[in-house]
């Protein structure tokens, strides 16, 4: 059988005029759905941070929340730029790995795991206390701890079993959460508007002091626990170049604005002090009518509890994903990277995150101001992650200026965000030294586990190589970006091609781009309406993401209309600086009438490409 890669002598025709890669237009509904699907994890923690920030900030707590929100917005922009270039289950660690060394990437990922476990612990604890609006015993010890542990057990089991939520449900949950927060703001502004309370709580001499305001700003970072959710938004966008640029600023802007407004309402509603736990119930308790107070308090407690349970689930799931990514890079024991054979979830990693969160819940009730310590652990960890992401994005701007960036953050904002994050990180360590000691102990322990894990795996590999006489050495290639082209004529996404790319990406921390092509005949207008085109694109994209998720990686999916498939594939590979193109023949030209041109297309790509081309034969083709 003649090889597809043998040289051929054909006259190279001039490239036809191609109206270059116009992407399928995406309406604002697509961007809105993308933003709403991430809001349940970006905006939920405001119900936790109100009391934590007000404990030290008093009347200036809204200012502390605003500063923390601006820091989060800057970090989210840098994070979106990084993961749009280097998608992967590691999130922040994947960005740092691309810019710096392996130990720095591990530190970012390991600290992210601590932050997410702390967020899950806080969400479970506050969800239990918000249930006190329905049954008062849940607001008292030990029932709040029991309920929190039960919530953690339930969300950990859900994360291990692979329970997910459809896109429509996530969009609905995001809309409900925004409506709930906006309703609280409107009720507070119309029924308990007392701006004099804010000025009364601000005393320039000692309360809040500069140190307390600084500490309140650091702790207010707990309002924004959704940095890793930006990873999901960047990789779930059907067209990141347009959807992400619309969805992320709107989602983050709404979260920051509503958090500041709720902080103002909480300070006006409770002049004697915002309670540390269940602060939103305090707003309901200060409504003018007793009947209104009772009804709103019960309903609000149940709704906020549900919101925080969803946030706890998201934190456990994301922590498991990050830990599994670190294990895939041989920085944690192999057990943490294993996935369930049917559910494809990192069971051990998610279970470990749940155990750490449960330990933090128990410790928070056994120590003085334990909730502040857990909130401080989250803030201390996330501020370090903020700084590392900013530094990585700035470094990548200088190291890889030509790489395609579907989302681009402002360089000056990134530098300012890095400096402010480092300042607040150091201030929190000075003001709450116990937080710094615990976090640094966590980091040192993680580095020890990393060294032991790498040494153990190296010893096993040496033993395997010594026992395999005459075995050929493995081929080691550095792939940072891989491109998989497929046409909408294809019946579905070729699983073997995605599996090949996912295996390489998981081993090397590379990103995978799926280029979906729609070939428009020369006799038709370029923007001709094609039946079921959107459905076919979404079906192929969903299949690709499903296969990639089973390997713990994230992929980018983009859609192009073209007159010349080979020209568009080569141009897209150049634009994204892809080191390898993976071709699956059956999905380049699937229609029977085009089988005769299939070899010609493959030959042209192989001949003209300035990068590696890997051809994946269909599994049905025998030798």
DSSP summary character for residue 16: P
Binning pLDDT at 50, 70 and 90, where does residue 407 land? confident
In the block, residue with structure tokens 């990789």: 235
Contact 74, 414 (CB under 8 A): yes
- For the cut 90, the answer to whether the pLDDT of residue 387 exceeds it is yes
Highest mean pLDDT among 98-107, 148-157, 167-176, 394-403: 148-157
Q: Is the pLDDT of residue 6 over 50?
A: no
Task: Tell me if 581 sits within 8 A of 605, measured CB to CB.
Answer: yes
Homologous superfamily, domain 28-449: Amino acid/polyamine transporter I (1.20.1740.10)
Q: What is the pLDDT of residues 272-284, one digit of tens each?
A: 555 666 677 767 6
Give the right CATH number for 481-616 from 3.60.20.10, 3.30.1490.100, 3.40.50.1980, 3.40.50.620.
Answer: 3.40.50.620
Question: What stretch of H or E contains 616?
Answer: strand 612-616
Domain residue spans of the chain = 28-449, 481-616
End-to-end CA distance of the chain: 9
* 25-29, 197-201, 254-258: the lowest-pLDDT one: 25-29
pTM: 0.72
Q: What is the pLDDT of residues 139-165, one digit of tens each?
A: 677 888 888 899 999 999 988 876 666
Q: E strands within 504-601?
A: 511-519, 555-562, 580-584
Contact call for residues 208 and 57 (beta carbons, < 8 A): yes
Two domains, one topology: 28-449 and 481-616:
no
pLDDT band per the 50, 70, 90 thresholds, residue 620: very low
Q: Which residue, 530, 528, 521, 607, is CA-closest to 566?
A: 607
Per the listing, tokens 């004697």 go with 272
Task: Say if residue 14's pLDDT is above 50.
Answer: no
Q: Hey, what long-range contacts does 540-546 have (CB within 8 A, 24 or more apart)?
A: 540/486, 540/488, 540/490, 540/492, 540/493, 540/514, 540/516, 541/238, 541/514, 541/516, 543/492, 543/493, 543/495, 544/484, 544/493, 544/498, 544/514, 545/235, 545/236
Q: Give the per-residue pLDDT at 274.
A: 57
Each residue's pLDDT tens digit, 495-519: 888 888 877 776 665 678 888 888 8
Residues 6 or more apart whose CB falls under 8 angstroms from that of 73 comprise 252, 253, 256
> What's the rounded Cα separation, in Å, for the pair 199 and 479?
58
Q: Are 121 and 374 in contact (CB under 8 A)?
A: yes
Residue 72 pLDDT class (50, 70, 90 cuts):
very high
Check pLDDT > 80 for residue 361. Answer: yes
Per-residue H/E/C for 377-399:
HHHHHHHHHHHHHHHHHHHHHHH
Residue in the block written with tokens 């909130």: 375
- The pLDDT, as a whole number, for residue 420 is 94
Residue 204 or residue 302, greater confidence = 302
Mean pLDDT of 44-62: 82
State the average pLDDT for the chain.
76
The C-alpha atoms of residue 172 and residue 342 are separated, in whole angstroms, by: 28
Most confident by average pLDDT, 105-119, 128-142, 269-283, 526-540: 105-119
Q: What is the pLDDT of residue 445?
A: 93
Q: What is the Cα–Cα distance from 248 to 37, expressed in whole angstroms?
A: 11
Is the predicted pLDDT of residue 390 greater than 80, yes or no? Answer: yes
In this predicted structure, the answer to whether residue 137 has a pLDDT above a threshold of 60 is: yes
Hey, which of 25-39, 92-106, 386-400, 497-511 has the most confident mean pLDDT? 386-400
Q: Between the CA of residue 433 and those of 108, 373, 387, 436, what are the distances in Å?
A: 21, 10, 20, 5
Q: What three-state secondary structure class fits 484?
A: strand
């Amino acid at each position: 059988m003649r090889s597809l890669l043998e040289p051929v002598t054909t006259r190279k025709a001039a490239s036809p005029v191609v109206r270059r890669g116009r992407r399928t237009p995406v309406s604002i509904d697509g961007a809105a759905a993308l933003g709403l699907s991430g809001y349940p994890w970006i905006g939920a923690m405001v119900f936790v941070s109100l009391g934590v920030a007000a404990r030290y900030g008093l009347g200036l707590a809204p200012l502390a929340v605003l500063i923390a929100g601006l820091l989060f917005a800057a970090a989210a922009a840098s994070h979106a730029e990084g993961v749009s270039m280097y998608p992967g289950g590691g999130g922040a660690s994947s960005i740092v790995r691309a810019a710096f060394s392996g130990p720095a990437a591990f530190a970012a990922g390991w600290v992210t795991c601590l932050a997410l476990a702390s967020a899950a612990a806080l969400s479970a604890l506050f969800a239990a206390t918000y249930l006190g609006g329905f049954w008062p015993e849940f607001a008292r010890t030990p029932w709040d701890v029991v309920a929190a542990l039960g919530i953690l057990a339930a969300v950990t089991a859900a994360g291990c079993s692979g329970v997910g939520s459809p896109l429509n449900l996530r969009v609905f949950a995001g809309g409900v959460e925004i409506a709930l927060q906006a309703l609280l703001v409107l009720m507070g502004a119309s029924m308990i508007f007392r701006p004099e309370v804010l000025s009364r709580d601000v005393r320039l001499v000692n309360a809040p002091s500069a140190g307390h305001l600084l500490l309140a700003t650091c702790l207010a970072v707990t309002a924004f626990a959704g940095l890793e959710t930006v990873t999901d938004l960047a990789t779930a966008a059907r067209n990141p170049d347009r959807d992400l640029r619309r969805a992320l600023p709107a989602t983050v802007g709404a979260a920051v604005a509503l958090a500041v407004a709720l902080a103002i309402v909480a300070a006006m509603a409770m002049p004697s002090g915002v309670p540390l736990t269940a602060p939103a119930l305090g707003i309901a308790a200060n409504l003018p009518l007793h009947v209104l107070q009772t009804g709103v308090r019960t309903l609000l407690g149940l709704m906020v509890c549900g919101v925080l349970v969803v946030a706890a689930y998201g934190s456990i799931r994301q922590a498991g994903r990050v830990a599994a990514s670190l294990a895939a890079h041989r920085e944690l024991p192999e057990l943490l990277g294993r996935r369930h054979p049917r559910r494809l979830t990192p069971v051990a990693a998610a279970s470990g995150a749940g155990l750490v969160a449960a330990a933090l819940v128990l410790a928070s009730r056994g120590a003085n101001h334990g909730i502040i310590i857990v909130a401080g652990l989250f803030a201390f960890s996330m501020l370090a992650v903020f700084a590392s992401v900013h530094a990585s994005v700035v470094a990548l701007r200088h190291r890889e200026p030509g790489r395609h960036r579907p989302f681009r953050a402002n360089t000056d904002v990134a530098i300012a965000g890095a400096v402010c994050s480092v300042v607040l990180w150091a201030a929190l360590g000075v003001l709450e030294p116990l937080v710094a000691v615990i976090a640094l102990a966590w980091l040192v322990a993680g580095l020890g586990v990393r060294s032991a894990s790498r040494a153990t795996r190296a010893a096993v590999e040496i033993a395997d190589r010594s026992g395999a006489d005459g075995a050929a050495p493995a081929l080691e290639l550095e792939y940072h970006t891989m491109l998989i082209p497929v046409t909408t004529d294809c019946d579905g996404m070729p699983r073997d091609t995605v599996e090949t790319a996912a295996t390489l990406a998981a081993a090397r921390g590379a990103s995978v781009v799926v280029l979906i092509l729609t070939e428009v005949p020369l006799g038709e207008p370029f923007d001709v309406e094609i039946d079921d085109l959107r459905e076919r694109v979404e079906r192929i994209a969903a299949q690709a993401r499903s296969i990639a998720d089973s390997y713990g990686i994230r992929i980018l999916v983009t859609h192009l209309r073209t007159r010349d498939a080979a020209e568009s594939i080569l141009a897209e590979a150049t634009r994204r600086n892809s080191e390898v193109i993976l071709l699956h023949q059956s999905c380049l030209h699937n229609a029977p009438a085009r089988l005769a041109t299939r070899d010609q297309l493959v030959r042209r790509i192989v001949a003209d490409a300035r990068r590696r081309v890997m051809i994946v034969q269909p599994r049905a083709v025998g030798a």
